[in-house]
Structure 1
Amino acid sequence: MTSMFHVANANQLLAGLPSFEQDAFIAVCETVELVFGEVLLQPTETINHVYFPIDSFISLISKLDSDDQIEVTMAGREGMLGISLVLGIDESPLLALVQGAGTAFRLNAVSFQALLLKCPVLHQRLKHYIYVVMCQLARSVACNHFHRIEARLARWLLMTQDRAGCDQLHLTHEFLAMMLGVRRAGITLAAISLQTRGLIRYQRGEITVLDRPGLIEAACGCYNQDCALYARILPVA
């Protein structure tokens, strides 16, 4: 059975909840395994479940009519999938794709919305999370337009490492190109540059982060700004 300690420490949005709200969450959630490449939600599809990742993480991808697509944000243990339900909207404009396999808390939509009515602290934290995501989405648009591919790749690897909780990331150039919305050749050149500087090692679809401080220095300032925003808006007591 899911323990109160487990809930409080497994996902940052649930940290600091009073014991009553933790008990209420435990009563309606289940722990599920998310599989790499699994599509949890299609754009405009009705949200039937929300997910609070524990050691998994989810890419949220914007798709155009031409089938072009680009990742605009991620949800790992710092976030959740299905946040639009907090606004009373039962659909999402984004494709939700499991990028990192692992576990997550899952609640059905009806139970989640009922939970919000009796858990004011959780409700408030989730409204703050909406603001964080809005800021991240806005920054992502500007970052994709103005910043160099190498800096964007460094930022994306740091974001992925934060959620994966390890230095080894299983990523192909094709997947990275799709996530960043650039040509594969651009990813290749950027990865070679980061590897030449001793920041990463890339081999056969696996990237190993060798020098995290150096990678932070190589990334655009968006990474540090996102981290600082989250810490300020969603502090853990």
Structure 2
Amino acid sequence: MATVENHLIELLPRDDRRRLLALCEPIQLVLAEVLCEPGEPTRHVYFPIEGFISLVARTDSHPGLEVGMVGREGMLGAHLALDVVTAPLHALVQGPGAAWRMTTADFRRELARSSALRRSLNRYIYVLMSQLAASAACLRFHLIGPRLARWLLMSQDRAHSDSFRVTHEFLALMLGVRRVGITTAASALQRSGLIEYHRGDLTVLDRSGLESMACGCYAADRKAYAELLP
């Protein structure tokens, strides 16, 4: 990994960035790998470069619901900036790819040393809070079709590709709906020429059309990030 390509790290002043990267190790995020569980101690933080991670809330015996997503715009483990070691959510690799990994101990020491890192993390936590709140409102008030369009755009942004793999079963889990609802919504998007989907391989054909179909939560997410972490 010759280049950083994680936005939070790139925002740091040169000396802070160099010091942090010296404490990181390059890894590959593996599809469906569980990186942390709620209530468990956080052992590592992750700065995705190519891969991306689903943040899943679980309750009782239900399999869970995606409430956030982390790609190279952010990091997994931001709660450490609040001096809390236990993870709040189930974190699952949704898109495989390269990432930087750092031990919790090293990260906390660097956080205490770098005021620039603390400022960026405080702003990023605000963005995550907005994303979590938007996900709750989106689940309650928006239809499956616009929610699916939003999810596909968020995934495309972090996959950095028009094509990626995703199954109806996984989409149903992430959006908290029945598989038949996903099938109906995805078929409508495909008939409209916005996506192409076959046996788990999905391609976004019309990005602007998909944006027009998505609920307003997608644009709000992007606006919050652009304003706070330009």
TM superposition score category, shorter chain reference: over 0.9
Q: Give the one of 10, 33, 37 matched to 1:15.
A: 10
Runs of 4+ deviating beyond 2 Å: none
Gaps of 5+ in 1: none
Counterpart for residue 70 of structure 2: 75
Deviation at 1:23, TM superposition (A): 1.7
Q: Deviations over 1:148-202 (max 9, x none)?
A: 1000000000000000011112111111000000000000000011011100011
Q: Which moved more, 1:107-116 or 1:63-72?
A: 63-72
The aligned amino acid for 2:158 is R
CA apart distance, 1:24: 1.0
- How do residues 53-92 of structure 1 correspond to structure 2 at under 5 angstroms? 53-92=48-87
Identity of aligned residues (%): 53
2:106 to 111, 115, 123: 111
Question: 2:15 matched to 1:33?
Answer: no
| Deviation of 1:68 (Å) | 3.3
Query: 1:73-222 residue pairs with structure 2 within 5 A?
Result: 73-222=68-217
- Secondary structure at 2:87's aligned position in 1? coil
Q: CA deviation at 1:106?
A: 0.6
Q: 1:68 to 1:16 in 2, by over 3 A?
A: closer
Query: What amino acid is aligned across from residue 100 of structure 1 in structure 2?
Result: G
* Pairwise CA distance, 1:22: 1.2
| Corresponding position: 1:233 with 2:228 | yes
C-alpha separation between the residues in 2 aligned to 1:51 and 1:16?
A: 16
CA contact (8 A) 2:10 2:17 kept: no
Aligned length: 230
SS in 2 for 1:71: strand
**Deviation of the 1:119 alpha carbon:** 1.1
User: 1:67 deviation in Å?
Assistant: 2.5
Q: Normalized against structure 2, the TM-score is what?
A: 0.98
Residues 55 and 89 in structure 2, CA contact (< 8 A), matched pair in contact too: yes
Greater CA drift, 26-35 or 208-217: 26-35
Q: How far apart, CA to CA, are the structure 2 residues paired with 1:105 and 1:199?
A: 34
Structure 2 unpaired stretches of 5+: none
Q: Partner of 2:161: helix, strand, or coil?
A: coil
* One-letter amino acid of the counterpart of residue 212, structure 2: E
Give distance in 1, aligned partners of 2:191 and 2:148. 14
Amino acid at match of 2:109: A
